[in-house]
Structure 1
């Protein structure tokens, strides 16, 4: 009786329990970053701004700085120039730097910035696509000061992969623009 049971039900159990195998969808890496706390950065340079307290700022001479984000493998490059009647040349250089990325960019969105109270005027460029930089800006008072900023990642420019980090740093760059004060 037991042998008969094993001969009938064992093969049925082995065959009947088989499930169709379905492939699982690819998972996506979720990158969450802590909310930024900003502190005022001031030194002997003729301007100051607020910076993410997780970023590392390093002077490069002549009031030029790098702002490093080691966890994201990215750096913001800030460049300061005096305006001595050559504002038009500075504006053309800033725009040229941005539009050199048009070859790899899918789109470049310009967002003007005006703060009449602080006399800070500028443009924020959001570069979409696999360009070397995802965001750039310039700010000026049109008379004495001109600052440009651009972010670069130390990775192959794959917009989909670096988008969370690019968005995070883009917000930091806007904070630099919006908190810029001339001395």
Structure 2
């Protein structure tokens, strides 16, 4: 009897112990890849031109302020044009103030100077990390006549981890805008 009890116990342990453990799937990040953009110079009736990504659609206002809409990424780059009329310092302070309003939600704001003396384009690029409303801000000017500010916004509540691939893609587009911007005289 003792042997049959021991044999039964061994069978139960083997039957229960040989089951495959069911584990939940580990959390994974979505792999978002966007096609390589092709760039064409804008042909607008404005005092400036720049290279536009073919994935974006321009919505133009009367005062040469633009919205570059990226429907695939659910984001937009807002460009605002101002004429410099002895108020360059105020325009620069306003642009910086707009950027640093995001400091409440941002983990970090990294300013980077931009200068292209041959084209007469000078400015600042701000990379904003964290759950801020805008992930990138910038301004460019010729210091005499023209001033353009830009900011990146998404159509959704900011969640830095989720929007990071799109934010990095559009950050590269912003850099391309800054590098290709030329003033029309």
Gaps of at least 5 residues in structure 1 are 1-7
Alpha-carbon distance, 1:60 to partner: 1.4
Deviant stretches of 4+, over 4 Å: 10-17
Cα RMSD after superposing both structures:
1.6
The secondary structure found in structure 1 opposite 2:102 is helix
Corresponding residue pairs, total: 175
Alpha-carbon distance, 1:176 to partner: 0.4
In structure 1, the partner of 2:126 is 125
Gaps of at least 5 residues in structure 2 are 1-7
Alpha-carbon distance, 1:12 to partner: 9.2
TM-score for the superposition, normalised by structure 1: 0.90
In structure 1, the partner of 2:158 is 157
In structure 2, the partner of 1:37 is 38
The secondary structure found in structure 2 opposite 1:26 is coil
Give the alignment of 1:55-134 within 5 angstroms.
55-134=56-135
Q: Deviations over 1:132-180 (max 9, x none)?
A: 0000100000000000000110101111110000000010011000000
Q: Deviations over 1:15-57 (max 9, x none)?
A: 5641222332112211011111111002211100001011000
TM-score for the superposition, normalised by structure 2: 0.89
In structure 2, the partner of 1:47 is 48
Q: Deviations over 1:47-97 (max 9, x none)?
A: 000010110001011111000011111111100000011100100010000
